[in-house]
Amino acid sequence: MTADARLTSFGLPADAEPSGVGLPADARATRADAAGTGGPADAGGLRRLAVDTLDANWEHDHTVPSRTLYPHQWSWDSAFIAIGLAQVRPDRAWRELASLFRAQWADGRVPHIVFNPALRVGAYFPGPEMWRSADVPGAPAVATSGLVQPPVHALAALLAYRRAPDPTGLAALRRLYPALVAQQRYLADRRDVAGDGLVCIVHPWESGLDNSPAWDESMAAVPAEAAVMSAYRRHDTAHADAAHRPTDLDYARYLAIVAAYRDHDYSDRDLATGHPFLVECPLFNAAFGAAEHALAEIAAFVGADPGPHRARAARITEALLRRLYDRDTGTFQPRDLRTDRLVSARTVLGLTPLILPDLPPREVDALVVEARSARFGVAGRMDRPLPTYDRTAPDFEPLRYWRGPSWLNIGWLVRRGLLLHGHPELAAGLRHSMIGLVAGAGCHEYFHPDTGAGLGSPAFSWTAALVLDLLAD
């Protein structure tokens, strides 16, 4: 069956057919590392592949992003995974979120990795021996990292509850609500380094888009030598092509920033005076604002007051507009707090504030222009998948991780924003393109932004989860 024939068999209207998704034969059947194969022939097959992938990655109370590359629990992965699980295994959606929040620190931070103590030393790098969370007062009994990731969990909990608004869901929502509030309080109280109402990330890993060109300028100032990596064994490059991953110099800098934070017991008190990486990220802050909108709705369900959440949401949107919106380019850009300058690279991060329902029409219109431009190519009939970086930039890299490839979580967020702001035809184009990627290549971690070929882990959980959500919509 040709890729086009596959795409029409997903019950999508013929007029939503992209002109040239053009997935080549080699982009199709790639053996999944845990579950299925690429290229199921119809919507039922695609759904089964996605469910099989999630089932194969389920580990007693959470889902691993990938059995090989990421065998522990990751924070924002669990939120995206819960959104998909809510479609097929609602009990697991709640267990997924509950297990993550059991590892919440006393200060409210939700760690970006929760380590599975049953796994051997070296199952992932950098492992618990590098993070040493047990030495820090306020860390949970289980070993974790000390970083955070974008707070998309309140949105996930809200969507899971809307999908199955039953007494079990309501009880789970009631238990989660105070933990979600504490997560936001940590970010607002401890991570507003500039005092401007926005959260500052202290490591590129906190963005979730680890080696995005958005961090190049700030990372260039972090002193480190690639040669230090000869003392370590990277786990990722044993399971994925090194040319599709961050470089050794990136990793040397990642480790230097971890050491700086860890050696101050992950304290946020004096970050401004010496921490080597301090950036306000548009996606992280859009998620921070969207979380307050979601919490306002959750508050209404659990009998709490939505008012303070609405007020905080409005303040976050206002701060994003004031501090990260670039009038010259008509998109949002990260701000490096060490130089107090906006970053110039145009990445897909800039489009993600569309997930804020209260983004004003003028800025929405500008972001839609940016999304439709040759840089990102969003259209009712998309020629090619949404890239993570400006595809016209000279340093666009179609194979390397967050420097070009297409990722489903980002497309899912942008599509959500387009729907929120009245662009159903663009949202349909994006949905069709994302489903086409998984139909063509399977539940890969990321995809070649021209050919749609699958890259990274071939059985990646959030890809499976979000395609289930897209199919159900």
Catalogue the active-site residues. Answer: 210, 445
Q: How far is the CB of 51 from ligand 9WN (least distance, A)?
A: 19
d(CA 450, CA 432) in angstroms, rounded, equals 15
- Joined together, the tokens standing for residue 145 give 């990292």
User: Is the CB of 96 or the CB of 363 nearer to ligand 9WN?
Assistant: 96
In whole angstroms, the minimum distance from the beta carbon of 36 to ligand 9WN comes to: 18
In angstroms, the CA 408 to CA 411 distance is: 5
Residue number, 85 or 428, with CB nearest to ligand 9WN: 85
Of 251 and 325, nearer to ligand 9WN (C-beta) is 251
Instruction: Confirm if 389 and 404 have CB atoms less than 8 A apart.
Output: yes
Where is 73: in which H helix or E strand? strand 73-74
Integer CA distances (angstroms), 129 to 115, 121, 260, 276, 340, in order:
11, 8, 15, 22, 34
- Say if residues 441 and 17 touch (Cβ distance below 8 Å): no
- Closest among 267, 266, 285 to 200, alpha carbons compared: 285
Q: Which is nearer to ligand 9WN, 224 or 364 (CB)?
A: 224
- Tell me whether residue 208 or residue 387 sits nearer to ligand 9WN (CB atom): 208
Q: How far is the CB of 349 from ligand 9WN (least distance, A)?
A: 12
- In angstroms, how far is CA 230 from the centroid of its own chain? 30
SS3 label, residue 268 = coil
Q: How many residues does the chain have?
A: 473
**Considering the complex, what minimum distance in angstroms separates the CB of residue 112 from ligand 9WN?**
6
Three-state secondary structure call for residue 76: helix
> 285 CB contacts (<8 Å, ≥6 apart)?
198, 199, 316, 319, 320, 324, 353
Nearer to ligand 9WN, 76 or 215 (CB): 76
What's at 232, amino acid-wise?
Y
CB of residue 76 vs ligand 9WN: minimum separation in angstroms? Answer: 6
How near is the Cβ of 205 to ligand 9WN at its closest, in Å? 4
User: Quick check: helix, strand or coil at residue 432?
Assistant: helix
For residue 113, give the H/E element and its range.
strand 113-114
Residues near ligand 9WN (CB under 6 A) are: 65, 70, 74, 76-77, 112, 205, 208, 210, 236
Closest CA to 26 of 17, 39, 44: 39
Q: What is the DSSP string of 16-68?
A: G--S-----GGGS--B-SSS-BS--SSHHHHHHHHHHHHHHTEETTEE-SBTT
* Shortest distance (Å) from residue 195 CB to ligand 9WN: 28
d(CA 283, CA 438): 24
Query: 28 vs 416, which CB is nearer to ligand 9WN?
Result: 416
Token pair, residue 78, equals: 């669990």
Closest contact distance (angstroms) between CB of 135 and ligand 9WN is 21
Query: Which residues lie across from 66 on neighbouring strands?
Result: 70
- CA triplet 45, 471, 454: central angle to 5 degrees? 65
Residue nearest to ligand 9WN (CB): 65
- Taking the least distance from each CB to ligand 9WN, the nearer of 234 and 381 is 234
Closest of 400, 102, 410 to residue 246, by C-alpha: 400
Please give the Cα distance from 11 to 306 (Å, whole number).
Answer: 39
